[in-house]
Amino acid sequence: MKLKNNTVFDCSVVDMSKVNTVSGNITVVENGPNIPFEVKRVYYLYDVPGGEVRGGHAHYELEQYIVAASGSFEVILDDGVNRKRVFLNRPNLALHIVPGLWRELDNFSSGSICMVLASNIYEVNDYIRGYNEFLKLKK
């Protein structure tokens, strides 16, 4: 299967806005108004040991919003030509990752929570887990 020819420049940090009150903030994500795909799965990474690197794969079709629900971490995006590093540290900001890109996550702060809103359920066959295979498929 051919990989989508998206580049790292097709990914952006989206401000999902927040409802600001004296007693704290609320950020709302609803299918339709503020997300460009239908959310079919939500999962979150937590208790990531210091120095650990997560991700290390690409997806054929999956589209995602990645949110630092607590703390901070960095996302490395790679399209086979360009690399981009994105620092996330606010719960109202989401990194929109389009399909066909290699991604890694690192520099997790202690106690951080990486929440992922995904356009599909978990599909093993949607993953490319080898970087060299990714590069070949991207050509």
Q: Which residues contact ligand TYD (rule: CB under 6 A)?
A: 41, 43, 45, 54-55, 57, 122
59 catalytic residue (yes or no) = no
- Strands annotated E in the chain: 12-15, 19-21, 24-26, 41-45, 54-59, 64-70, 73-78, 83-88, 93-97, 102-106, 113-118, 127-128
In the complex, minimum distance from the CB of residue 45 to ligand TYD, in angstroms, rounded to a whole number? 6
Nearer of residues 45 and 67 to ligand TYD, judged by Cβ: 45
The length of the chain in residues reads 139
Contact, 3 vs 78, CB < 8 A? Answer: no
Nearer of residues 18 and 99 to ligand TYD, judged by Cβ: 99
In the complex, minimum distance from the CB of residue 92 to ligand TYD, in angstroms, rounded to a whole number? 22
Listed residue (114, 119, 36) closest to 72, CA to CA = 114
Active-site annotation holder among 4, 54, 57, 84 = 57
In the complex, minimum distance from the CB of residue 24 to ligand TYD, in angstroms, rounded to a whole number? 28
Nearer of residues 26 and 42 to ligand TYD, judged by Cβ: 42
Listed residue (19, 27, 1, 4) closest to 80, CA to CA = 4
Active site residues: 57
